[in-house]
Amino acid sequence: MKTSDYNEYFVPTFSRSGPPLVKGKGVYLYDATGRKFLDFGSGIAVNALGHAHPALMKAMVDQSKKLIHTSNLYITPPHIELARMLVMNSFGKKVFLCNSGTEAMEAAIKFSRKYGSQTSEKKYHTLSFFNGFHGRTYGALSATAQDKFHKGFGPMLEGFHYSHLNDEKGTRKILDKHDFAAILVEPIQGEGGIHCASTAFLQFLRDYATKRDIVLVFDEIQCGMGRTGTLWNYEQHGVIPDLMAIAKPLGGGLPLGGLICCDKVAMAISPGNHGTTFGGNPVACALGCEVLKIVSKKPFLKKVTDLGIYLKSKLNELSIKYPVIKEVRGSGFLAGAELQIDPKEIVSKCKKAGLLVISAGSNTLRFMPPLIAEKKHIDAALSIFEKCL
């Protein structure tokens, strides 16, 4: 099937080309012509367990025989079980489940404002960081401090302010200026180019937020759920947020997002304040339980840590050999190589050679293998990458 055969049907929100993908197995994807790809994008950090994982297929079939949807007027066992598991495996006391990362961030902004409104009606300001990404709806988009996403869609919502990641002095200056309800931060900026927040900076945000009763929100939609070798990235910093948005890998490939909440913010919400028709869908939650069960196991996480160090060290070796690689960043299976050239060219070369990787920011190549990837897959991916360099 030629690109022209299907692109005419779609609003051009994405520029896609090539034959459709028809199946996947483990770390591999196959297109309609039978070509095989090593998937180091994982459907943008979604397919943590790779493709066609037996536990996910089984959970999907079993649950779909019982219930596919009930709405949030009722509760189902998978919804209860996933919420319980998320609370047991995090700082959180309560959970709100929705369908995507964007919705999790919208909930975070709304819950923070509601909590702030208990103190003062002026306590609604929100701080987020340049090069961050929080989603495409107006709240999440207003919090996404990147011009390219705002252009043509203005005006953004009122009360959104931006600062530079890891700039304590500048950030303090802005925070001192307004009555803030929330600080939103990705511990590792994914879409923006794999920029890591420092422990000292996150601790500064925590201290400031505590002092001023501001809700500290971590967006772990991309860096959470085992991707960096701990179940949650905040564990590596020892800094605990008040709210944490999760999504991408949560539903094992089905649309599922969540907001993990501390008690005080959760208790500012009453029935009718916020909602969703599909959120907490029983099939998505059944898959979520399986993903969480597998990725939260210590030996599983240890392997991601070890292989993540290996991946980064191999990328660093390449950066010495090929000056076109400017810098290597990231943690675990969320690695970025900043290039001196437009990464699009390398992305398409890699695809032609059988490797799927994704660009991030304006000049960074992202390596996000499924968390089940082995050393041999990393070696294979990097050898293709090297050839393309």
Ligand X SMILES: *Cc1c(COP(=O)(O)O)cnc(C)c1O
Contact between 106 and ligand X (CB under 6 A)? no
Least distance from ligand X to the Cβ atom of residue 193, Å: 12
Among the residue ranges 99-107, 298-306, 309-317, 336-344, the one whose residues contact ligand X (CB under 6 A): 99-107
Binders of ligand X among residues 360 to 379 (CB under 6 A) are: none
Task: Give the contact letters, 40-79, x = binds to ligand X (CB under 6 A), - = no.
Answer: ----------------------------------------
**Which residue, 259 or 325, has its beta carbon nearer to ligand X?**
259
158 Cβ neighbours under 8 A, 6+ residues apart: none
Question: What CA dihedral angle connects 297, 299, 304 and 305, to 10 degrees?
Answer: 110
Q: Which residue type does 340 have?
A: Q
Question: Contact between 113 and ligand X (CB under 6 A)?
Answer: no
| Residue 190 contacts ligand X per CB under 6 A | yes
Find, among 372, 321, 344, the residue nearest to 40 by Cα: 372
Q: Which stretch binds ligand X (CB under 6 A): 78-86, 128-136, 275-283, 360-368?
A: 128-136
Supply the minimum distance, in Å, between the C-beta of residue 108 and ligand X. 10
Q: Are the CB atoms for 24 and 52 separated by under 8 Å?
A: yes
Q: Out of 39, 106, 186, 338, which residue is the one contacting ligand X (CB under 6 A)?
A: 186
With binding defined as CB under 6 A, does residue 247 bind ligand X? Answer: yes
Helix axes 282-295, 54-66, angle to 10 degrees: 150
CB of 274 to ligand X, least distance (A): 17
Choose the stretch contacting ligand X; rule: CB under 6 A; options: 14-22, 61-69, 219-227, 317-325. Answer: 219-227
Binding mask 248-267 for ligand X (x = CB under 6 A): x-------------------
SS3 97: strand
Q: Which of 106, 219, 242, 290 binds ligand X (CB under 6 A)?
A: 219
Query: How far is Cα of residue 50 from the mean position of the Cα atoms in its chain?
Result: 16
Does residue 332 interact with ligand X by CB under 6 A?
no
> Does 123 help bind ligand X (rule: CB under 6 A)?
no
Check if the beta carbon of residue 134 is closer than 8 Å to that of residue 144: yes
Residue 360's Cβ-count burial label (10 Å; 0-12, 13-18, 19+) is buried
CB of 321 to ligand X, least distance (A): 30
Euclidean distance between CA atoms 359 and 132, whole angstroms: 15
Structure tokens at 130: 């340049």
Binder to ligand X among 50, 78, 101, 279 (CB under 6 A)?
101
Instruction: Tally the residues of the chain.
Output: 389
Span interacting with ligand X, options 15-23, 218-226, 230-238, 366-374, rule CB under 6 A: 218-226
**133 near ligand X, judged by CB under 6 A:** yes
Taking the C-alpha atoms of residue 164 and residue 179, their distance in angstroms, rounded to an integer, is: 19
In angstroms, the CA 39 to CA 370 distance is 8
Among the listed residues 38, 50, 139, 191, the single contact to ligand X using CB under 6 A: 191
Tell me which residue has its CB nearest to ligand X. 101
Q: Which stretch binds ligand X (CB under 6 A): 51-59, 96-104, 123-131, 296-304?
A: 96-104
Name the residue among 389, 345, 343 with its Cα closest to residue 366.
Answer: 343
Instruction: Please list the alpha-helical segments (H only) found in the chain.
Output: 3-7, 42-45, 54-66, 77-88, 101-117, 138-143, 147-150, 168-177, 199-212, 263-266, 282-295, 298-321, 343-352, 375-388
Give the binding range for ligand X (CB under 6 A) out of 95-103, 233-241, 312-320, 360-368. 95-103
Closest CA relative to residue 357, chosen from 386, 324, 318, 322: 386
The residues binding ligand X (CB under 6 A) are 100-102, 105, 133-135, 186, 190-191, 219, 221-222, 247-248
